[in-house]
Amino acid sequence: MEQNYLSDDVFEQIKDFNRRKLTKQQKLLIDKLILNEDLKIRYFYHGLCKECKQPNTGYKWCQSSVEHYQQNFKNWTSENSDVDKFIQESQINAKNHNEKLEWIEYDKFENIEYITKGGFGTIYKANWKDKPSILWSEANQSVALKSLNNSKNITLEFLNEINLHLKMNGDISIIRIYGITKDPKTSNFMMVMDYADNGNLRQTLNSVFNSLSWFYKLDILQDIAYGLNVIHRERLTHRDFHSANEKDDKVYGVLPYVAPEVLRGKKYTQESDVYSFGIIIYEVINGLPPYYDIPHDEFLVLKICQGLRPSFNIKVPQLIVDLFKQCVDAIPSKRPTANYLQKIFRQWWSDIDDDIDSEIYKQKSIEPIDFTKLNINPQDTGKYYDDGHTKDESQKVTTTLYLCLENLTAAILDEN
């Protein structure tokens, strides 16, 4: 008879074992008592639940965890039946803490601080009072509250974005999502996520770029490539995480990172993600935002579609230059995959300081940017960067590309 669960007798015999330090006799007994391989793997990885007397399905997570959440359904509501159902289903179906969401009352947050606003919503930083200890990241109770524009009228697209985050919630390279809350003033729903203490990539580069070695630049790029590969393995694109991108067939995004085929109105693909990653390669290596010195307008759209790409202002290993060019190739099929990018950057990161026979080691050079020679004020390099347009016109971020497309479709077709 197939063993689908542990009997009370089996539980009693093994409940006091330290699964991390089993004796030889204990291991033999485990093999004898637990015949189901799935149950055995769960036991070795996650231990036993003393309440339901079965192997946990995740870290401190088992069927009794699900039952506790079910019993608590009557004690909370988001006042939106779709949101309630979405959260409850995540809790019922979860196999570990990463796969479930929570409804978090807004009064659980304090010291709420505005961080930034983009085309899709607004980001705040807050402290989560009484944040469950199992969710702590280095005992940090800071979280990000991401408010999507007009989400008081909840849509399936909004919930889909959250669901996509949830699919990869346990991966160290993906910002974790904990649950949903609602701003009582605006009635907008908000995603509750991990807060990135070091800010975004641009802020990091602004503050420490000239102290970054090639080792750390490659470390940044291998981490980003790893995260992108995680997304692509799920047959998703980075754009899938922004439900507003699909609205009204418009093109949304920060212009310098948008692939030329998307600017021409074609479908966004994983190859389009790779193009964006190529621009990030330029930014991490070069230290400057792409096209930092020119307006992000319809003329830039046309130039990108005609083949304009950022150029390095410092000496860069030819291996990296060649890979950058492959990523931003005008023909999507010629771009490398995220899986390849993850592997090659990890290899270069491993070799650049230690393997004197490797090509990347031979080509490396530390050459900080001399802003005075380039006639650049570092404080001005974000002028056309932050929201895809001038800082004074940041409200246009989500419409700029749409207007550019309307104005330039005919011209681009003529060029081709």
Could you please report the per-residue DSSP string of 345-373? HHHHHHHTTT-TTSHHHHH-------TTT
The answer to whether residue 228 scores a pLDDT higher than 70 is yes
Question: Residue 380, exposed/middle/buried by CB under 10 A (0-12, 13-18, 19+)?
Answer: exposed
**Cα atoms in the 13 Å half-sphere on the side-chain side of 368:** 11
CA distance 222 to 201: 14
Nearest alpha carbon to residue 14 among 59, 65, 50: 50
> What digits encode the pLDDT tens for the residues 131-177?
765 554 444 578 889 887 666 666 666 787 787 777 777 666 667 88
Torsion of CA 208, 210, 216, 220, to 10 degrees: 60
CA distance 121 to 258: 19
> Higher-confidence residue: 103 or 405?
103
% of the chain at pLDDT higher than 90: 27
Furthest-apart CA atoms within the chain: distance in Å: 78
The pLDDT-based confidence of 342 (bands split at 50, 70, 90) is very high
Q: What are phi and psi of 114, to 5 degrees?
A: -65, 135
Considering only CA atoms, give the Rg of the chain.
25
Q: What is the pLDDT of residue 120?
A: 63
Q: What is the pLDDT of residue 66?
A: 82
Q: What is the pLDDT of residue 245?
A: 35
Q: What is the pLDDT of residue 335?
A: 97
% of the chain at pLDDT higher than 70: 73
Q: What is the pLDDT of residue 339?
A: 93
Nearest alpha carbon to residue 46 among 33, 36, 37, 55: 55
Nearest alpha carbon to residue 211 among 296, 307, 287, 131: 287
The answer to whether residue 406 scores a pLDDT higher than 50 is no
* pLDDT average, residue stretch 318-322: 94
Which one-letter amino acid corresponds to residue 308? L
DSSP state of 331: S
**Helical H segments across 241-372, by residue range:** 260-263, 270-286, 298-305, 318-327, 338-351, 359-363
Q: Which residue has tokens 């090659």?
A: 344
Nearest alpha carbon to residue 228 among 279, 182, 294, 291: 279
* CB 50 within 8 Å of CB 15: yes
The answer to whether residue 320 scores a pLDDT higher than 90 is yes
Beta bridge partners, 61, equal: 58
* pLDDT average, residue stretch 388-399: 38
* pLDDT average, residue stretch 280-290: 88
Comparing 144-148, 244-248, 339-343, the range with the smallest average pLDDT is: 244-248
DSSP state of 75: G
Listed in sequence order, the residues at least 6 apart from 219 whose beta carbon sits closer than 8 Å to its beta carbon are 349
The answer to whether residue 97 scores a pLDDT higher than 70 is yes
Task: Please give the full DSSP string across 235-250, using - where no structure is assigned.
Answer: T--GGGG-GGGGGGG-
In whole numbers, what is the pLDDT of the chain averaged over residues? 78
- The token duo for 146 is 């991401």
The answer to whether residue 35 scores a pLDDT higher than 50 is yes
Interhelix angle 270-286/318-327, nearest 10 degrees: 150
Q: What is the pLDDT of residue 246?
A: 36
Task: Please give the full DSSP string across 118-181, using - where no structure is assigned.
Answer: -SSEEEEEEEETT--GGG-BTTB-EEEEEEETTTTS--HHHHHHHHHHHHTTT-TTS--EEEEE
The answer to whether residue 408 scores a pLDDT higher than 50 is no
Q: What are phi and psi of 179, to 5 degrees?
A: 175, -160
CA distance 343 to 351: 12
Nearest alpha carbon to residue 396 among 252, 243, 300, 247: 252
Beta bridge partners, 177, equal: 193
Q: Which domains does the chain have, with CATH numbers?
A: 8-56 (no CATH), 73-194 (3.30.200.20), 202-415 (1.10.510.10)
- The token duo for 225 is 């490539």
> Higher-confidence residue: 159 or 251?
159
Q: What is the pLDDT of residue 409?
A: 42
